[in-house]
Amino acid sequence: LQKVKNDLEVVLSTVQSKNKKLREDLKREQQWHEEQQQIVDALNGIEEEMKNQVVQFSEKRTFQELKNKMLKLRTYKEELLNALGEFLEEHFPLPEEDGSAKKKKKNSSEEAAVQLITLHEILEILINKLMSTPHEPYLTISDSFWPPYIELLLRYGIALRHPEDPNRIRLEAFHQ
């Protein structure tokens, strides 16, 4: 019995020392695990920051590209408008420059009081009206619009008459 007791005490001390060693190993493993978890968390934070920076950089680059395209479009628009203006000034001068138009104005005191506008200005008014109020693009024809210019715009499909009011026109919506 004594021998069994001694053997059991030896076994108990061995098991206790193994348990102590296992507890120490467990503590070290838990510490190592916590350190690894902190490293993973730090790396995830860095990854998230990098993604945000990439997104911000991508957004900045996209925004800059859009700004450049807008600038190019504005420049192109200005060039087109200038070319259109030059063409209209050359080929469609004001009616006062024509002798027959002057004679007509001298005969009528009402017409002499009206300042006629150029075809360029008529087109500009129509374009602005279409862009600013697309739901109501019609413009009322006033005495300052020279009738041959209005007829020219209507005949070639550049402008359309209002279906109910013949004194109103609108620019054909070519952009649609």
pLDDT tens for each residue of 52-84:
887 777 888 888 999 999 999 999 989 998 998
* Contact by Cβ (8 Å): 141, 100: no
Mean pLDDT, rounded, for 149-170: 92
pTM above 0.85, yes or no: no
Q: Which pLDDT value is given to residue 52?
A: 83
pLDDT in tens, 27-60: 999 999 999 999 999 999 999 988 888 777 788 8
How high does pLDDT run on average in the chain? 86
d(CA 53, CA 72): 28
In this predicted structure, what is the pLDDT of residue 55? 77
> Can you tell me the distance from the alpha carbon of 3 to that of 18, in angstroms, rounded to the nearest whole number?
22
149 Cβ contact list (under 8 Å, min separation 6): 92, 119, 122
pLDDT at residue 106, as a whole number: 47
Amino acid 50 reads M
Q: How far apart are CA 7 and CA 12, in angstroms?
A: 8
- Over its C-alpha atoms, the chain yields an Rg (Å, rounded) of 43
Q: Provide the percentage of residues in the chain whose pLDDT is more than 70.
A: 88
| 173 vs 3: which has the higher pLDDT | 3
Cα dist. 41→30, 31, 35, 37, 102 in Å?
16, 15, 10, 6, 87
Helices and strands (DSSP H and E) totals, the chain: 5, 3
174 secondary structure, DSSP code: T
Query: Per-residue pLDDT averaged across 83-106, rounded?
Result: 68
Q: Which amino acid is at 82?
A: N
Q: How far apart are CA 57 and CA 35, in angstroms?
A: 32
Q: What is the reported pLDDT for 94? A: 77
